[in-house]
A and B are shown apart, each in its own frame.
Chain A
Amino acid sequence: MTHLPPALDVSGLEHRYPDGTEALAGVDMRVDAGERVALLGPNGAGKSTLILHLNGIVLPQVGSVTVEGRRLSADTAGEIRARVGLVFQDPDDQLFMTTVYDDVAFGPLNMGLSREEVDARVRFALDAVGLTSAASKPGANLSVGQRRRAALATVIAMGPAILVLDEPTSNLDPRSRREMEALLASLEVTLIVATHDMDVAWRLCERAVVLDAGRVVADGAVRDLLSDEALMVGHGLELPPAVAARSSL
C-alpha cells in the first residue's frame, strides 16, 4: 500500500498581528484526505486566522502548513490555492463580479483553462449548488441562501481537493441551512468547517477540533467532544440542542 501524505498538515503554527495580538500560539492539526472536520471555538479563538493560513492568504510566521505534501510558501501559494478552496463567511466578499456566471468563472479563468473548459466547470458548479437558472443574475439580486451557495460554487468550479468554509450556515433560515448542510454532505472533498452551529457540526462532521486562545484544546470524534459539557462550556461553546435535551432528562 502506498502511503499518501495527509491532505493537510499544520505544525507549530504561530501568528501575531502587527499590533502584537497573538492570534495563533502553536497550532498542530493533521487532516487526512476525505475527512470532515468541524473547527470549533469562541469568537477570537483564531479560527479565521487559521483558515487564512490554509491556502496562503496569510503565510506562516512560525511553523508550517503542508498541503498534500507540498509546504506552503510564497512560491507554492499559487498552486496550493487551486487545491484548497476557501469559502468566506460573507458571500458579498466572494461575489465581486457583475454576474454569478462571471464570479464562478473567475477562478477557472485565472487557472488558465480554455473557454470551453471554463464554461463546463461553471455549469457543473452551478448545477451542483442548484443555481443554474441564476447564472446571469448579479450576486446582489440573490437571496442570502442563494448567495451562500453561489459563493460555494465559485470555489467548487476550481475543483479543489480541500474545501474550507467559514460559518457556512450563519444567518440562514432553517430551510436554507438544511439545504447548505445537504449540499456540503454531498461533496466528495476533504472538508474543514469553522462553525458555531453545533447541529451542523454534529451531523456533517466525524471529527472536531476545538480552538481557544490560538491553541488546539481538543481534537477527537465529534460526538465525544460535543457531548463533553465541561469541555464545551469551558471554551465558550454549547452542547448541540439534541444532546443538551437528552442529558437534562
Chain B
Amino acid sequence: MALDHDAGRHQLHGHEHAHADEPEHRHPHHHDPSGTHDHAHAMGFERHAYLVSPVHDLDPRFKVVMALTLAVAAAGGPPLRAAEFLALCALLAAVAVIAKLPLGWALTRSLAVLPFALGIAAFAPLARADALEWPAIVRAYSEGHPIVWSIASKAWVSASAALLLVATTPLPRLFKALASLRVPDTLLTMLTFLYRFTDVFSRQVVSMRRAIAARAPRMRPIALATVYGGLAGNLLVRAYERGERVHAAMLSRGYTGTLPSPEPFRARSSDWVALATIVMASAASILY
C-alpha cells in the first residue's frame, strides 16, 4: 500500500478504496509518511457524496446544468401527464441506481419538499374562485385539483433532480462548479460559510440548550418559548460577532472581496453524453 503511493504521497490525489463496513468510495486526500490518510467522511445529506459511480464521476458543472435542465423542463411546461411523470420518475430512479444511492433514502429525502409544495398547492385553486363564497370555492376545488397535482408533481421532480445533484457531489466540489459557472461571488461565499458554520452554530445551540436544561429542568411551555426567543437573539449576536472575526481573518490573509478562483475542471466525453441524454429527455417530455 505504502509502496505504490510513494511517488505521489504528498500530492493531493484520489483513488477508490474501501474500509471495513463501508462501500467503495473516493475522495481527494494526502498520505502522511506512514502511508495512511485521515477521512472526511461526511454525514447527513453528504453521506453518499463520496461513493464511486459513473454519476459521481461526472463533471459537477455538467451535473448542475443537467439538474437545472430537468427542473426547468418539468416545471416550465404544462401539467405533467401520467406518462410523462412516470418517464421522469424512471429517469430519476435510473440515475439513482447508477449512482448506487439507496433508493429508500433518496425517496425519503426527495419527499421532504412535499409539505412546502402542498402548502402552496392547497391554496392554488382558490385563485380560480370568482368570489369568496362557499359555492364558488367548492367549484374551484372540484375543477382545480389538477393544479394541486401539477404543483406537487413538478416540485417533486425538481427537488429530486436537485437531490441527485447534491447527493452525488461533495459540496466543496459543487461550490467550485458553481463558481466556474459564474454564480455571483457573494452568493457562493454565503453558501460556503453556511456549509462551514452550520456545525459550529448547531454546537452552540446544543450547549445553550444544555445550559437552559441545567437551570430550568421543568419549564412551562410559555416560559420556555420566552427563553428560546432569548436563545435565538443570543445566537444572532454571536453569529454577527463571528462574522466580524471571520472577516478580520479573511482580510489578514489578503482577501479583497472575491474568493480565489477554483482550479479548472476538464470536461470529458462522458460528461457531454450524459448532458445530451438529459437535454433530449427533457426536450422529449416538453414536446410530447
Contacts and interface: CB of A to CB of B under 8 A. Distances in A.
Given A127-B10, A133-B32, A81 B253 contact: yes
Nearest to A139: B196
A155 B253 contact: yes
B41 to A, nearest CB: 9
B37 A99 contact: no
Contact of B253 (A52, A98, A101, A106): A106
Q: Which range contains the number of B residues in contact with the other chain? A: 35 or more
Interface string B245-273: 11011111111100011010000000000
B30 A132 contact: yes
Contact of B192 (A81, A82, A98, A123): A98
Contacts of A154: 253
Contact of A98 (B12, B30, B195): B195
Contacts of B245: 88, 90, 93
A107 B28 CA distance: 21
Contact of B252 (A81, A102, A109, A136): A81
Interface residues of A, number: 44
B40 A136 contact: yes
Contact of A135 (B12, B196, B249): B12
Interface in A67-117: 78, 81-82, 85-86, 88, 90, 92-99, 101-102, 105-107, 109-111, 115
A81 B254 contact: yes
A137 B248 contact: no
Nearest to A134: B38
A29 interface: no
A151 B199 CA distance: 18
B246 A107 contact: no
A171 B199 CA distance: 19
B38 A110 contact: no
Nearest to A95: B196
A135 B200 CA distance: 19
Nearest to B9: A132
Interface in B165-184: 171-172, 175
Q: Does more than half of chain A's interface fall in helix, strand or loop, or is it mixed?
A: helix
Contacts of A119: 12
Contacts of A86: 249, 252
B220 interface: no
Interface of B: 10, 12, 27-32, 36-40, 42, 171-172, 175, 192-193, 195-197, 199-200, 242, 245-246, 248-256, 260-261, 263
11 contacts: A52-B248, A78-B254, A92-B242, A94-B249, A97-B192, A97-B196, A107-B253, A133-B30, A135-B28, A136-B28, A137-B38
Given A96-B246, A136-B30, A155-B253, 20 more contacts: A52-B248, A88-B245, A90-B245, A93-B245, A96-B196, A96-B249, A96-B250, A98-B171, A98-B175, A98-B195, A99-B172, A102-B172, A106-B250, A123-B30, A133-B29, A134-B38, A136-B28, A137-B38, A138-B42, A141-B40
9 closest residue pairs by CB, A with B? A109-B260, A110-B254, A107-B253, A98-B172, A133-B32, A137-B40, A93-B245, A86-B252, A140-B199
